[in-house]
Amino acid sequence: MGLFSFLIIIVLFFIYKNYKKQEKLYLQTMTKNFEALYKNNAYLLKERSNIIYDSFINKEKIIKIVVKASKIKDIKSKEFKKLREELYKKLYNEYNYMKNYGLQELHFHLPDYTSFIRFYRPEKYGDSLKGVRKSLELVHEFKKPVSCFEIGRVVHGFRNVYPLFYNGELVGMVDVAYHANSIISGIERALPVYIEFIIDSNLIKKKLFEDEQKLYTKSHIFEDFFIDKDVKTFSKEAQIIKEEIQNIDKNKFKIVEKNFKNGKNFSINLKIKDKDYLISFICVKDCEGKTEAYFVIYKPDKIFGYLRYNFIIVLLTTTFLLTLVFSILYVYFWKQIEYREKLKKISETDTLTGIANRRAFIEKIKYEAKISQRFGYPLSVILFDIDNFKKVNDIYGHDTGDYVLKEVVKIISGQLRRTDFFARWGGEEFMIILKNTDLKDAIKLAERLRKVIENYKFEKVSYITISLGVAKLKSDEDIDSFFKRLDELLYKAKRKGKNRVEFE
């Protein structure tokens, strides 16, 4: 009897543990899904900003105005005022047009961080944003565009800040900013959710002009955060959810305070008016990676009810014998899964080098090519092989040849990002898939890899070199054509003397 009771307790414990694990896994999965949605929408805003910058801003007639303004010391002068009016008139129509597509702010800055003109608040200018807008300092220092969320003097925004050059000299900066609504609208229109945008109250008080703070109100749920009054709802479902949660007890959210301090994405399950809600908190970080705000996503979710129902049914219907059988099958089932996964891993791994093999590479490139061509993301591939590798085998033997292959893989792997996919194509040939990477950046990486190998001293063979071909997938290109181009580029590098990078 004692053993029977003990087994029942053990079985019930594992059933409960499994229930909590499923709940936790679901929360983690939904958190990742919403995080991906946020990042995708932020990326689309960045692409939209690039179009605005290239089409309207990065023009000589615009930049010349900024150049003239940067040379005027008296910002109250008539000449300075005239230049502001001239720039405003030149871009007014474009700014108003792009506001229909979510553009919030177009803000020009002088090289000393002085605000030249805010299209959102043209009457407010001349203040220095040094120490307030880190994005400007980064653009000023590195002379490259920066994209991040940031709170300024007048508005917060998802900003894309660009350097302005004239004759190779930095003459100013401009940021193209979008309101949180631009991200919220895309998600609320696609899913039955309501989204709040909450911002750290201390940052609002510290950064915004005092008269601009009236556009924010203290959250009735999250005491340390403000809510932007301009945030809207974009679907009937969102409005219904908003009304349902209006009188929620803020004490229910005490459990999230610790997570706020960690500044990480997370999700919880709460019952509101006897209805299960998935509430996801997606952090919004500034240019330094500090969390400044959160998207709080409320989603009525029946999954939690299903999980609880299943849990109760199992508890009520399980007997000792059924539980025992279930436990045996459960263990056997997972062993089979592990075995199949192990076999799959073996079938997709190059036994010598430990990286992906040709089969795994082909599956991966087909998938990435499909994603790239569907969503317009850049996809580049590097094909390289080891120069004169046959001589290494002939002179030093196959053991040394194997050593060289493994060492090359080790060196190259150390230079790649976690998102890059490295595979052995066959023999001494290797492939590298570079997601979200333009040809220019792929060429830079290829050249770096070539130099790293060239300067590395191998045992016995001393120094070796590699030849590389680099290509970017075209929007209408099939995989076979893409491979053919890569092969031609590699052989071109060989014909031109090896130890070089060839690209189109």
Query: Contact at 8 Å (CB) between 116 and 66?
Result: yes
Q: Which residues pair with 148 in a beta bridge?
A: 159
What distance in Å separates the CA atoms of residue 64 and residue 83, rounded to the nearest whole number? 10
Strands (E) located in 119-215: 146-151, 156-166, 169-178, 194-200
What distance in Å separates the CA atoms of residue 206 and residue 199, rounded to the nearest whole number? 12
What percent of the residues of the chain are helix, what percent strand, and what percent coil, each to the nearest 5? 50, 25, 25
What distance in Å separates the CA atoms of residue 209 and residue 154, rounded to the nearest whole number? 6
Please list, in sequence order, all residues whose beta carbon lies within 8 angstroms of the beta carbon of residue 446, skipping any fewer than 6 positions away: 382, 384, 468, 470, 501, 503
Q: Is 60 a catalytic residue?
A: no
Q: Judging by DSSP bridges, how do beta strands 466-472 and 501-503 pair with one another?
A: parallel
Q: Report the residue count for the chain.
A: 504
What distance in Å separates the CA atoms of residue 215 and residue 392, rounded to the nearest whole number? 71
Q: Which residues pair with 383 in a beta bridge?
A: 431, 469
What is the DSSP secondary structure assignment for residue 349, as one 8-state letter? B
What is the helix (H) or strand (E) element at residue 413, kind and residue range? helix 398-413
Distances (CA, A) of 146 to 95, 184, 283, 330: 21, 22, 19, 50
User: Which of 60, 428, 429, 504 is an active site residue?
Assistant: 428
Query: Contact at 8 Å (CB) between 388 and 466?
Result: no
DSSP 105-139: EEEEE-TTSBEEEESSSTT----B-TTT-HHHHHH
Q: Tokens 């949180």 sit at which residue?
A: 180
How many CB atoms are closer than 10 A to CB 63?
Answer: 19
Query: Contact at 8 Å (CB) between 472 and 378?
Result: yes
Of residues 229, 219, 231, 285, the one with CA closest to residue 256: 219
Strands (E) located in 325-428: 379-386, 421-426
> Both tokens of residue 278?
């998935």
> Both tokens of residue 222?
């999250």
**Burial status of residue 272 (CB atoms within 10 A of its CB: 0-12, 13-18, 19 or more):** middle
**Burial status of residue 399 (CB atoms within 10 A of its CB: 0-12, 13-18, 19 or more):** exposed
Q: Judging by DSSP bridges, how do beta strands 194-200 and 103-109 pair with one another?
A: unpaired
What distance in Å separates the CA atoms of residue 285 and residue 292, rounded to the nearest whole number? 6
- Residue positions annotated with a catalytic role: 428
